[in-house]
Amino acid sequence: LCIQYQGYDALGRLCFQFSKKCGCDLHMPDSRLVSLPMDQQPEIIAYLKPHCGWSRGVRAVLQKYNLSFVDKDIIGVPENYDEMVRVSGQTLQPTLKIGDQVVADVSGEELEAWLVREKIVSHKADAVEVSLNSACSDEEHAAHATGWTPPISVK
């Protein structure tokens, strides 16, 4: 499978989609397919910061299980932050709306446990390349303060 960056939609949401091989070199083996079939997956809206250790962990879990999601930037698009507060009744992130349920202030590890418990995915022991349960490092915070932020890579 291939994660394809779809760009921003009209509401400022960053969109990704998973598809069969498309000719790029970012394919994942089919053995990683341990989630519901695409047509049975709940809609997932993730309210995340562009550069945040917790947000990276959440993205990594969603990608690990090949779950399609809309990535709403709550820093660069203030309307997305306001929407997150309306939907969840709180101000902490990462927050996800998964189908008709809200999972708020969650780490990647907590999200993975929730997805397994709700039978949206079956547990898969595959390792991911980022921490699922940590904030940004002191070095990353210092870089953000100077205006430089490392690029986000989706694998």
Helix/strand/coil for 144: helix
Whether residue 84 contacts residue 77, with contact meaning beta carbons closer than 8 Å, is answered with no
For residue 122, give the amino acid letter.
S
Arithmetic mean of pLDDT over the chain: 76
Task: Give tens-digit pLDDT for 78-128.
Answer: 999 999 999 999 999 999 999 999 999 999 999 999 999 998 988 888 888
pLDDT at 143: 67
For residue 57, give the amino acid letter.
G
Q: pLDDT band at 43, cuts 50/70/90?
A: very high
Nearest to 129 by CA among 69, 47, 64: 64
For residue 101, give the amino acid letter.
Q
Structure tokens at 132: 């699922």
Whether residue 78 contacts residue 127, with contact meaning beta carbons closer than 8 Å, is answered with no
How many whole angstroms separate alpha carbon 137 and alpha carbon 35?
31
Query: How does 66-75 read in b/e, with b if 16+ C-beta sit within 10 Å?
Result: bbbbbbbbbe
How many whole angstroms separate alpha carbon 15 and alpha carbon 109?
23
In this structure, of 3-7, 60-64, 113-117, the range with the lowest mean pLDDT score is: 3-7
pLDDT at 25: 42
* 76 pLDDT higher than 60: yes
